[in-house]
Amino acid sequence: MSTKDNELLKELTLEEYKYGFTTDIEMDIAPIGLTEDTVRMISAKKNEPEWLLEWRLKALRHFLQMDMPTWQNFDHPAVSFQDISYYAAPKAKPKLNSLDEVDPELLSTFAKLGIPLDEQKVLAGVVAVDAVFDSVSVKTTFREKLKEQGVIFCSFGEAVQEHPELVKQYLGSVVPQTDNIYAALNSAVFSDGSFVYIPKGVRCPMELSTYFRINAENTGQFERTLIIADEGAYVSYLEGCTAPMRDENQLHAAVVELIALKDAEIKYSTVQNWYPGDKDGKGGIYNFVTKRGICKGDNSKISWTQVETGSAITWKYPGVILKGDNSVGEFYSVALTRNRQVADTGTKMIHLGKNTKSKIISKGISAGHSHNSYRGLVKIAAGAENSRNFTQCDSLLIGDRCGAHTFPYIENRNKSAKLEHEATTSKIGEDQLFYLTQRGIDPEKAVGLIVNGYAKEVLNQLPMEFAVEAQKLLAISLEGSVG
Amino acid sequence: MLSIKKLHAEVEGKEILKGLDLEINAGEVHAIMGPNGSGKSTLGNVLAGRESYEVTEGEVLLDGRDLLELSPEDRAREGVFLAFQYPVEIPGVSNINFLKTAINEIREYKGLPPVEARDFLNMVKEKQKLVEFEAKLANRSLNEGFSGGEKKRNEIFQLAMLQPKLAILDETDSGLDIDALRIVARGVNQLRSKDNAFIVITHYQRLLEYIVPDFVHVLYNGRIVRSGTKELALELEEKGYDWIKETAGAENAI
C-alpha cells in the first residue's frame, strides 16, 4: 500500500462517532448483579403475570447452566454478568398517554438522533415509531391511527398487560429460552421492546419502526421484539440503534421473533449503528442478538435486511424457518467493520416445507484492522421437496490489515433440492480510486461511492427513507478510509 | 497553458521519463507518438497525478500553477482530464450519479453552487448525442459490462460533460473499430476550442487522420526526440519507429 493510502487509513481511525453524546436524566437503575431476585424485581416492576415470571425464571436457570460457545471466529470477550445492571429506566410517570408527559430531556435526545416522536411533525405519517431508551419504551407514535385497522403496535410491556393471550401464545415459540446463552439471558431479564400484531388480511398502512438507544452506564440492553403477521397480512418493520461513547463495553443481547402465518409477509430492516468503540478497540457495544422468523403458514414470506456499521462485536444470524409450503425466506446484509471492529454475521435458512425458497445476499466490507465474517447455514430437511437456495457472499477489503472470512454450511437431506453458492472477494483498487479522483471527486467521497455501489443490491431492499440514511451512514462510517 | 520542463519520472524505481520538455498553448492539439515503452502513457499518468508514478525532477506548470504540488482531484478541478486507456468498471455506481458528483465537486472547488438538476439533465442529453451515447448507457453502472468501444465513448462523454482545460487522450484509439473511432474523433473535434488544449497519445497515425493535430511529437526513451507538424506522423508511419530509434541512437552517440 502506498504512503498516501496509509495516511488516509490513519485518518479514518480518527473519525468520530456522531451519536456519542449522553443524556442527563434521572434514572431508576437496578443494583448490579444477576440472581433470581433480579428477575423477580424486573417482573414486579413491570407488573407481570405469574406465568411470565415463571417463564423468566426457567430461562435464568438454563442460563446459569450454559457455557459460552466456542465456535465463533473471534475471541469471545469475558463478559462478567454479575457486574452489570439489568434494568435502567428514566424516572417518569408510570404511564405516558401524551407527548407532554415525556421528559423533555428524552424528547430532545431523540430529536438529536433525528427520531421524530411528535406525530404532527412527521411528514404525512409514513413511519410509526416506538422509542426505547435503555430498558423501557418511551413513546409509541401513531397508535390510534394504527388501531383503526386493528394493528397493534406497542411496547412489549404494554402487550403483556393488554394482549397477554397473544404474548403467551407466541413468546419463545421461535427462539426458545434454551436456544443459546444470550437468548436465555434475554429471556430471563428482558425489560422492554416492541410488539406488533397485524390482523388477518391487513396490509399495515405505514412502516413501523423501533429506535433503540442505550444511555445508562454499566447496563445491558435486553429488548425483546415480537411480530405476528396473521393470515394474509403484511408489515414492514424497521429498527435503528445508537449508543453514547463509553470506555467500557456494553452488552446488548436482544431477541427478535417473527411469525408469519399463511400468505403473510414480514419485512424486517435493521440499520445498526451502536457505538463501535474507539480506534484502539476500547469500549463499544457487544451486539449479541438472536433474530429468527418462522414462515409458519403456506405461501408466507419473511425478509431480513440489515445494514450493520456499529458495535465493537456484532454476532447475529437472523434466520428463517421455512415451515409452510411455498414459503420464502430472504436475507440481505451489508456489514461494515473498521478499526478493531468484529462482525460475525450471516443467516440460517431452515427448509422444512415443500417448494420453499431462500435467498441470501451478503456484502461484507472490512477496513482498518477489523474482521468481518459471513457465517451461514442452509438446511434442507428430508421433507422439503423441490427446495431452492441461492447464496451470494461478497467481501470487499479496504487496506491490507483487515480480514474477510466466509463460513457457509450446507446440510441437505433431500435430493430434489437445488442449492447455489457464489462468493467473491475484492479490494477497492487503486485503479478505481484514481479513476474517480481524476474526475475531481474527493477520495473519501470516491470510497463512499464505490462502497455504496457495491452494497446497492442490499440497500435497494430498504424502505426509501432508510435507504438514504443507510447510504449516508456507509459513507460517513468510511470517512478517511481510503486505501 | 501547459509548460513541462526537464521532467523526470519513475515507476517502481525505474526511470521512464528522462528530461521531457513540452509547451502547449490554448487552442492547440498536440499528438504524442512513440514506440511501446517510450513513456507515452507515463506522461499522461504523471500529469494526472497517479500515485505510483514518481516525479524525480522537473517542473509542470498549468497556467503558471505548479501542477505537481496538487492532488489528483485538485488537478482535475483545475481542468486536467485524462481519458483512460483502460477505463475501470465500478459496479453499482450509476454513470449519471458519478458525473453529477464530479461536476459538483469541481464547481465547489471553483466556489460555484451545485448544478441545477434541470441544467444537468439538459447537458447530459446534449452531450451524449455528441458521441452517439444512448440514454440507457448513461444510466447504467459506470462502465460495467460496457464493450471496449462503449467505454471509450464514455470517456469522451465525460470529457464533454466536465469541459476541462487540458484533455489528455491516452491511446483512446486502441481497441476501436473504424466506426467507433470516427464517433470518438468527431466528439473530440467538436469539443476543440480556442480555450482548451488536447494531448493525443497514440501509437498509430490512423487516429490523427480524424483528429488533426497542430503538432506531433515523437517520444523515445523518455524524451521528445523529434517535433513537427502533422506531416511528421505520416513520415513516421511510412518509415516506422526503427527510423526514430536509429536516428535517436545516432544523436545519443554524438
Report d(CA B206, CA B150) in Å as an integer.
19
For A444, which residue in chain B has the nearest alpha carbon? Answer: B73
Could you tell me the three cell numbers for A377? 447455514
pLDDT of res. A276: 80
Look at B88 and A443 and tell me if their CB atoms are within 8 Å.
no
When the pLDDT of each residue in chain B is averaged and rounded to a whole number, the result is 91
The residue-averaged pLDDT of A108-119 equals 58
Could you tell me the three cell numbers for B67? 501542477
Q: What percent of chain B has pLDDT over 90?
A: 67
The ipTM of this complex is 0.94
Contact by Cβ (8 Å): A251, A220: yes
Per CB-CB distance under 8 Å, the chain B contacts of A432 are 88, 90
- Decide: residue A253, CB within 10 A, 0-12 exposed, 13-18 middle, 19+ buried: buried
Smallest Cα distance from B24 to chain A, Å:
21
The residue-averaged pLDDT of B86-105 equals 93
pLDDT of res. A114: 57
Residue A124 has pLDDT above 80, yes or no: no
CA distances from B52 to A3, B14, B79 (A): 10, 11, 21
- Contact status of B83 with chain A (Cβ, < 8 Å): no
pLDDT of res. A120: 43
- Contact status of B47 with chain A (Cβ, < 8 Å): no
pLDDT of res. A134: 61
Look at B73 and A449 and tell me if their CB atoms are within 8 Å.
no
Report d(CA A263, CA A278) in Å as an integer.
45
Residue A102 has pLDDT above 70, yes or no: no
Neighbouring residues of A330: CB distance < 8 A, sequence distance ≥ 6: A301, A302, A303, A304, A320, A358, A359, A360, A461
CA neighbours closer than 13 Å in the CB half-sphere of residue B1: 20
For B89, which residue in chain A has the nearest alpha carbon? Answer: A432
Q: Of A432, A443, A454, which has the smallest distance from its Cβ to B73's Cβ? A: A443
DSSP at A452: H
pLDDT of res. B250: 52
pLDDT of res. B7: 96
Q: What percent of chain A has pLDDT over 90?
A: 43
Per CB-CB distance under 8 Å, the chain B contacts of A442 are 73, 105
pLDDT 10s digits, A53-79: 999 999 999 999 988 888 888 887 777
Residue A353 has pLDDT above 50, yes or no: yes
The residue-averaged pLDDT of B129-137 equals 82
For B161, which residue in chain A has the nearest alpha carbon? Answer: A439
Per CB-CB distance under 8 Å, the chain B contacts of A2 are 51-52
Q: Which 102-161 residues of chain B touch chain A by CB within 8 A?
A: 102-103, 105-106, 109, 141-142, 158
pLDDT 10s digits, B8-62: 999 999 999 999 999 999 999 999 998 888 899 999 999 999 988 999 999 999 9
Q: Work out the pLDDT band at A247, boundaries 50, 70, 90.
A: low
Q: Work out the pLDDT band at A174, boundaries 50, 70, 90.
A: very high
- Decide: residue B116, CB within 10 A, 0-12 exposed, 13-18 middle, 19+ buried: exposed
pLDDT 10s digits, A290-316: 999 999 999 999 999 998 888 888 889
Per CB-CB distance under 8 Å, the chain B contacts of A437 are 71-73, 76
| pTM for the model | 0.81
The residue-averaged pLDDT of A389-393 equals 95
pLDDT of res. B154: 93
Residue A441 has pLDDT above 90, yes or no: yes
Look at B105 and A445 and tell me if their CB atoms are within 8 Å.
yes
Q: Work out the pLDDT band at A122, boundaries 50, 70, 90.
A: very low
Look at A440 and B162 and tell me if their CB atoms are within 8 Å.
yes
The residue-averaged pLDDT of B218-222 equals 91
The residue-averaged pLDDT of A352-364 equals 96
- Contact status of B163 with chain A (Cβ, < 8 Å): no
Contact by Cβ (8 Å): A423, A407: no
- Decide: residue B83, CB within 10 A, 0-12 exposed, 13-18 middle, 19+ buried: buried
Report the DSSP pairing between strands A255-260 and B14-24.
unpaired
Q: Of B76, B87, B90, which has the smallest distance from its Cβ to A440's Cβ? A: B76
Smallest Cα distance from A442 to chain B, Å:
6
Look at B98 and A429 and tell me if their CB atoms are within 8 Å.
no
Look at A441 and B81 and tell me if their CB atoms are within 8 Å.
no
pLDDT 10s digits, B162-218: 999 999 999 998 888 888 889 889 989 999 999 999 999 998 888 998 999 999 999
Pick the more confident residue, B75 or A154: B75
pLDDT of res. A333: 93
Per CB-CB distance under 8 Å, the chain B contacts of A439 are 76, 81, 98-99, 102, 158, 162
Look at B77 and A440 and tell me if their CB atoms are within 8 Å.
yes
pLDDT 10s digits, A267-286: 999 888 877 888 887 888 88
- Contact status of B12 with chain A (Cβ, < 8 Å): no
**3-class DSSP string for A145-186:** HHHCCCCEEEEHHHHHHHCHHHHHHHCCCCCCCCCCHHHHHH
Q: Work out the pLDDT band at A17, boundaries 50, 70, 90.
A: low
Chain B interface, best mutation among A394, A428, A441, by max B CB count within 10 A: A441
* Least-confidence region, from A39-43, B133-137, B220-224: B133-137
pLDDT of res. A5: 46
Residue A14 has pLDDT above 50, yes or no: no
pLDDT of res. B155: 94
Contact by Cβ (8 Å): A298, A262: yes
pLDDT of res. A62: 93
For B144, which residue in chain A has the nearest alpha carbon? Answer: A453
Strands (E), A79-125: 88-90
pLDDT 10s digits, A324-338: 999 999 999 999 888
Look at B98 and A439 and tell me if their CB atoms are within 8 Å.
yes
